[in-house]
Amino acid sequence: MCPKFLKSCKLFQSLFKEQFEWFLINGKSWEQLALPRKTDSLIKTQRDIRLLQIGLKRKRFKLEKLFDIWTDGNSTSRFHDKCKAATHTLCLVQTDVRDQIIGGYTNQTWEHCHPGKYKGDESAFVFSLTKYSIHRILPGKDKLATYHSPETFFVFGNENFGNYDDSDLYIGESKSSSKIGTSYMRPQGVQRDINYAKSYLSGESPFKFVALQAYKVIFI
pLDDT tens by residue, the chain, 220 residues? 555 555 556 655 655 555 555 454 455 789 999 999 888 999 999 999 999 999 999 999 999 999 999 999 999 999 999 999 999 999 999 999 889 999 999 999 998 787 889 999 999 999 999 999 999 999 999 999 999 999 999 999 987 666 777 899 999 988 999 999 999 999 887 766 677 888 899 999 899 999 999 999 999 9
What local confidence, expressed as pLDDT, does residue 142 receive?
96
Q: What angle do CA 107, 215, 29 make, to 5 degrees?
A: 100
What local confidence, expressed as pLDDT, does residue 114 receive?
78
Instruction: Give the three-class secondary structure for 208.
Output: coil
What local confidence, expressed as pLDDT, does residue 112 receive?
78
Sign of the CA dihedral 70, 75, 81, 84? positive
Whole-angstrom Cα distance, residue 38 to residue 44?
A: 9
Whole-angstrom Cα distance, residue 48 to residue 163?
A: 31
Considering only CA atoms, which of 146, 149, 126 is closest in space to residue 202? Answer: 126
**Residue 38, H or E segment:** none
Asked whether 124 and 142 are in contact (CB, 8 A), the reply is yes
Whole-angstrom Cα distance, residue 49 to residue 62?
A: 9
pTM of the model: 0.85
What local confidence, expressed as pLDDT, does residue 196 receive?
84
Residue type, 146: T
What local confidence, expressed as pLDDT, does residue 24 receive?
46
Asked whether 96 and 211 are in contact (CB, 8 A), the reply is no
CA-to-CA dists, residue 77 to 71, 72, 148, 178, angstroms = 14, 11, 12, 22
Whole-angstrom Cα distance, residue 54 to residue 50?
A: 6
Considering only CA atoms, which of 129, 198, 131, 132 is closest in space to residue 168? Answer: 198
